[in-house]
Amino acid sequence: MHGMMQHVVEGPAALSLAMAEGHLQQAMSRSDMVDVLVAASELDRMVRSLGPSARSDQDRAALLRAGDVVGSVLMRLETEMTRGLAARRNDARLRNAYFVPDLT
């Protein structure tokens, strides 16, 4: 994830956050968008639930890093969705595949 601020990741919360981040990065590398959404929501939930209990600078740094990762992934997903919509409009096969007839 290029362009993100780098934070030191240590402390008690770091291991759980690092594992969730690893799951998210694996899903991204497989281009498994369903798993990406699940992993991103899991990581986001962890950040929001652990945030109020962060006691050390290391915990806060780990939470900031995880929040940066979630934000970056969401921006990437938005870009991919926009590309996918454009591809469907420009490709007759994809237009037909996604065509939903009006049944009214």
Q: Is residue 82 part of a domain?
A: yes
Tens digit of each residue's pLDDT (9 = 90 or more) over 41-84 = 888 888 888 777 777 787 778 788 888 888 888 888 888 888 87
pTM of the model: 0.60
For the chain, the first-to-last Cα distance in angstroms comes to 46
Instruction: Answer yes or no: is 102 within a domain.
Output: no
Q: Determine, yes or no, domain membership for 90.
A: yes
Range of the domain at 82: 14-97
Q: Considering the domain boundaries, does residue 21 fall inside one? A: yes
Would 22 be classed as within a structural domain?
yes
Q: How many domains does the chain have?
A: 1
Whether residue 8 lies inside any domain: the answer is no
**Which is higher by pLDDT, 103 or 57?**
57
Mean pLDDT of 2-14: 53
6: in domain: no
- Residue 50 to residue 67: CA distance in whole angstroms: 11
**Is position 36 within any domain?**
yes
